Structure 1
Amino acid sequence: MSNLTLRLEKEDWDRVRALLEELGFKGLPRDCVVWYLTDGSNHATLYSSGTLLIQGKRAKEVKDLILSSLGTPEEVLIGCDESGKGDVFGPLVLCCAVIKPEYYRRVLSLNMKDCKRLSDEAVLKKASDFRSFGEYKCRLVEPKELNELYERKKNLNRILDELYVGLLEEFLKRYPEGRFSVDAYSSKSPFDGRVSFIHKGEEDLAVATASVLARAGFLRWLENRGLPKGSSKEAMALARRIYREDKERAKESLKLFFL
């Protein structure tokens, strides 16, 4: 039995349910899901995250039919998010993902969502899949550069303001009619009215895609250097030891303003 997933935007939930019911699927009660439908041998379960799980021998056929029924946005979607902000080791990685109408359904098929809901392996796989066809741009700020920026600005959110404005400049010129969204990281937006600064931004498909791309870049950086994620007691203890023993290495591998 195949197990396939795709992402459904909220405006499509009822329409997809109606489509499945036309195909002979019937709804049955199931806890902790938006809806569950089955035709006896194939099953479709929609979760509140927007993930639709399709199971059964005809799972691929059902998935392809659903995707073909979905509309596509008329405008280009551009979403941005960052990773590494809360980790003592590693860079700050900002990414903007571009979702064009011609590959919108393909991104839905990847079931992009907030990277915090995914395993590291899934993050790396989804990022690789998107990079094979999608447009994007990332800015990886090495710890040394980030530490120097922090010495001058003393505020990580103001650093993000500057970096995002620079990262989006090219896309704002290239896609003047695009829909721009950035996951809100502070209470005040640094952007003009062309860019939406949204809380819980990963609910937006383009922002979720950017989240995955940024996290993948961050994870690869740590893996290449054998350094831990997060800011646990163990990670902080290692960071302090490196700082005591080799301050130059510390500048190049960790965020000194965490210490």
Structure 2
Amino acid sequence: MVRREDKKENSRIEEVAKALESAGAVSENPPQHAIYRFRLGDGIVTIYKSGSIVYGGKGDDKEILKSIVDSVLTENVDITPRIGCDEAGKGEYAGPLVVACIYCDEPAVKELIKLGVKDSKKLSDEKVLRLADEIKKVAHGAVRVLMPQEYNRLYANYKNINRLLDVVYLSLIDKLVKKYKPKRVIVDKYGSGIKKKLCDNLPDSVDIVVVEKAESDPVVAAASIVARAEKLKGCQLLEKKFGVKIPSGNNKDQISHFLQSVSENMLPYLVKMHFNMNV
């Protein structure tokens, strides 16, 4: 049996079940932890309480089932071509700062919905790395990874992390806008200056949205995932190069152990030096 698993929002499970029934799929007894199981010819789809949807079987029937499910999940979704932006590592003492901007056309937005993208903070590291690879197959991105040494040099010039982010975001967004001409740009709000800078530098035809918790938008969520994946990769590079374990987040116990394992002259290559870590 060939299996494919997609995480979906539980709120749409009932809609999916009704659509399958309307298409002639036959309801069967679901296995443990599942709430629905449907068969259409040689195709099988099982819907779990968690929101997972697993496809089995072979040939056209499996593809028909998948098409029915996807049509429900992408219905009434805003598929406006747009850029979504987010960063990872801003508030973390160790490791890089990563800014990611993702452009999606209409088909790509639909693919993100099918992938089940969501705010990267809700996902495991393994899931983030896997999803980031899938996102890169369907979307176009511009990413800037500021490893600690470069970050510290730039911060010394700007003296403020939000001003530094403004410059990086504007550079990445401008690059994507010129290449793909999106209708909208959405940035997860981090400070008060970015919207004015974007309005001053981007064409009037581009709708600029700067809001808190923008990760609810699938394209911003995709940017969040890509940014975190690149941050994880950056931390892995530092660990391999310097032979130390990069602490996750700002856990005081982890940071204390980390600081005991590194010499002071290594810190500019591993951490954001302006952070005041009292551990």
Q: With the length of structure 2 as denominator, give the TM-score of the two structures.
A: 0.73
How much has 1:206 moved relative to structure 2? 0.4
What is the distance in 1 between the residues matched to 2:55 and 2:105? 31
Aligned to 1:213: 226
What is the distance in 2 between the residues matched to 1:76 and 1:151? 37
What is the distance in 2 between the residues matched to 1:132 and 1:228? 30
Classify the secondary structure of the residue corresponding to 1:180. strand
1:136-147 map, 5 Å: 136-147=141-152
Alignment partner of 1:246 out of 234, 244, 264: 264
- Which fold has the larger relative contact order, with Cα–Cα distance below 8 Å and residues 6 or more apart in sequence? 1
Q: Check conservation: 2:95, 2:271, Cα contact below 8 A.
A: yes
What is the distance in 2 between the residues matched to 1:196 and 1:5? 29
Structure 2 CA distance for partners of 1:60 and 1:235, relative to 1, 3 Å: farther
Whether 1:235 and 2:251 are equivalent positions in the alignment is no
Aligned to 1:22: 22
How much has 1:119 moved relative to structure 2? 0.8
Residue identity in the other structure for 1:65: I
1:43-192 map, 5 Å: 43-44=46-47, 52-55=51-54, 57=56, 62-68=65-71, 70=74, 75-187=80-192, 189-190=194-195, 191-192=198-199
What is the distance in 1 between the residues matched to 2:179 and 2:49? 36
How much has 1:81 moved relative to structure 2? 0.7
What is the distance in 2 between the residues matched to 1:205 and 1:93? 19
Percent of pairs with identical residues = 28
Q: Check conservation: 2:97, 2:151, Cα contact below 8 A.
A: yes
Structure 2 CA distance for partners of 1:116 and 1:99, relative to 1, 3 Å: same
Aligned to 1:33: none
Q: Check conservation: 1:97, 1:207, Cα contact below 8 A.
A: yes
Segments of structure 2 that go 5 or more residues without pairing to the other structure are: 28-33, 40-44, 200-205, 240-245
Q: Check conservation: 2:85, 2:187, Cα contact below 8 A.
A: yes
What is the distance in 2 between the residues matched to 1:120 and 1:107? 18
Aligned to 2:207: 194
Q: Check conservation: 2:79, 2:109, Cα contact below 8 A.
A: no
Q: Check conservation: 1:113, 1:202, Cα contact below 8 A.
A: yes
Structure 2 CA distance for partners of 1:158 and 1:46, relative to 1, 3 Å: farther
Segments of structure 1 that go 5 or more residues without pairing to the other structure are: 27-35
Classify the secondary structure of the residue corresponding to 1:132. helix
Classify the secondary structure of the residue corresponding to 2:191. coil
Q: Check conservation: 1:83, 1:92, Cα contact below 8 A.
A: yes
Structure 2 CA distance for partners of 1:76 and 1:39, relative to 1, 3 Å: same
Q: Check conservation: 1:79, 1:96, Cα contact below 8 A.
A: yes
Count of aligned pairs? 243
Structure 2 CA distance for partners of 1:140 and 1:254, relative to 1, 3 Å: same
